[in-house]
Amino acid sequence: MLSEHYDFTTALWKWQSETATAWYFLSLPEDLSAEIKFFCPRKGPGFGSIRVQVIIGGSKWRTSLFPSKETGTYILPVKAAVRKAENFGEGDSVDVRVKVLI
């Protein structure tokens, strides 16, 4: 059964494109990614994304998890506004709560 929410701690990392665009992500742990994938298999548009609600500190927003072929886990994009509001950056460990929106 899909959990009501998932709590975990992970480090923020940066992905840099060839065109100098930088995106920041948090990687979900392997066991949580496997559980979400099992209960929410996605096919079709959206790159296999899963809609979620995220809470980090006092920031709460809706976004999507994306499957990463490189890590075999889901990754969570984190906007600059959230990083600034919660005062964390690349390499910092972050406490995260994710709720899958079915």
- Please write the tens of the pLDDT for every residue from 42-88: 665 667 899 999 999 999 999 999 999 988 999 999 999 999 999 99
Q: In sequence order, what are the residues at sequence separation of 6 or more whose Cβ sits closer than 8 angstroms to the Cβ of residue 81? A: none
- Cβ neighbour number for residue 12 with a 10 Å cutoff: 19
Distances (CA, A) of 82 to 25, 51, 101: 12, 18, 20
Provide the β-strand partners of residue 87. none
What global pTM score does this model have?
0.89
Q: Do residues 50 and 6 make contact, with C-beta atoms less than 8 angstroms apart?
A: no
Domain ranges across the chain: 6-100
The domain made up of 6-100 is a member of CATH 2.40.30.100: yes
Averaged pLDDT, 30-48: 82
